[in-house]
Chains A and B, each alone.
Chain A
Amino acid sequence: MRAVKVLERILITIPIMLGVATIVFLFMRLTPGDPVDIMMGEAGFVSEGEIENLRREFHLDKPLWQQWLLFVGGALRGNLGNSYTQKQPVAALIAERLPATVELALGALLFALIIAVPIGILSAVKQYSLIDRLSMAGAFVGISLPAFWLGIMAILIFSVKLKWLPVAGRIDYQAGLKVITGFYVLDSLLTGNTQALVSSLKHLVLPSASLGAAMAAIVARVLRSSMVEVLRQDYITLARAKGQHEFWVVMRHALRNALIPTVTVVGLQTGVLLGGNMIVETVFGWPGLGRLAVSAIYARDFPLVQGVVMVYAFTYVAANLLVDILYTYLNPKITF
């Protein structure tokens, strides 16, 4: 039964993905005027032939419905067209940058959970204590912080003043890392390169913290609130009455149920993580998708912008799909 539900949920995702591709396709129609003219405007002098070629490449010489069919069909097969500035397939450029972005996003997620879960639990268990009030005040500031400013402040304090952590980049190149997967932390472990491992972890700390801070704040608030709710339930009183140690009552009985709303929030917050990703990569010179997109925007490389936006949206849809599937395991009663 569970497998059927999961399959149903996956099938629902297909029309959404199609719709996302359609909206991204429509993005290019938002340009004030002919997109090719605008792109060419950035390039300086170009011949008529080049303009014609580009128009053909974007299928702008065909009717709109054919353009749509070609774009969506291509996108579903992984063909996102060619970058106009870098003269390479968009998909290849994205694949090259993706590991950096995923590494940063995982770092941020890990940071958020490491901070938020203990704080959320502790605040709920010690409700209205000083620690609860301070952490909830901190979480409140966390949700009001712009990620780009937090990143800059982190650089100012930890890199410029204290000189503990590097200002930008992913690794010191003297570390001589042999890249295998593109995930530098993983590659350092695989090659047993301790210097590279330390360097890549050091580079990862500030961007992950800046990106994960908002998520940590929200997750801590939601976890606290659902824990407070759960701790009032009869079965918790029963567990206590049976003489179970408070630690196990909280961890074994309360946390599992309190995690259900928390997991939803983590799923929804992936959106904030992805949006913030572009900003944080720009602040820290992190060579991932976000920076690729921002430089593509400045160069008016529309196919590349479309490709990256689509990958971000697909990732968001996939993250929420994953959360929904995880849901059925946390609470088998839930149907979609």
Chain B
Amino acid sequence: MGFISQVINGLGLGSIYALVALGYSMVYGIVQLINFAHGDIIMVGAYAMFLLLTVAGAPLWAAVLGSILFCVVAGVFIERVAYRRLINMKAPRISLLITAIGVSIFLQNLSQLLFTSSGKTIPSMFDLGTLEAGSLQVPSGSIINILTSVAMMVGLSFLVNKTKIGKAMRATSEDAAAARLMGINTNHSIAFTFGLGSGLAAVGAVLYCNTYPMITPYMGGLLGLKAFVAAVLGGIGSIPGAMLGGYVLGVAESLTKGYISSSFTDAVVFGILILVLLIRPAGLLGRNVSEKV
């Protein structure tokens, strides 16, 4: 039954990718920016958890809520300080991208200065041991990850499709100028998207800390990059696509680890990205949008 437990572990890992990919996908959908700093929000969330749990000695629920809240504030703050001016003056995309990279390097180096580059260990969080069903053994962390990510996606779909602010977000991503004419404050809906994405990344950070209790200032880089690959794989701009991409990527990575070699996982991930771009650039669930001239 090694195969099935590998798949379940992969889905557990993929849940983290999926939660982070949602943030990439939403932000890209609304301002066409690959938010490089999004991966580092995971790191911010993880360090917030670490500080709350060890230094402040907060209870687990408060630490989780606190780190999510902190990330939401950080996400909105970053959007306000670094991106809004460029978004509103319709700067070329490359300027926005470079700014996002600047923010990413800033966050990484700031946390390296504050917490040194050596890793920190997070105390164990939701440890329910290993679940057994017949001959099948699964770590409880994977199950928690999967359930949380599904719950988050259901909540997010409700928020985006059924609420007023969700409607404003969709309108802004469809056509920002027209949305503004209809009385939507696009600045607010963009800021809300950044906050929401960062909050989801913080949930991803909590799950990450629960699964891999070692955090470093640079943990967000590769994790964020893989989550972006997941978003592209699923079809960037699509919420179910980001989830699907995350799961597929997690399973692919877990199977590579299990059956080929753990040193090739990153190569497999980027191999998938290149294949997707070659065969179906819009992603698994994305729509092909023709460019307006």
Partners in one complex: no
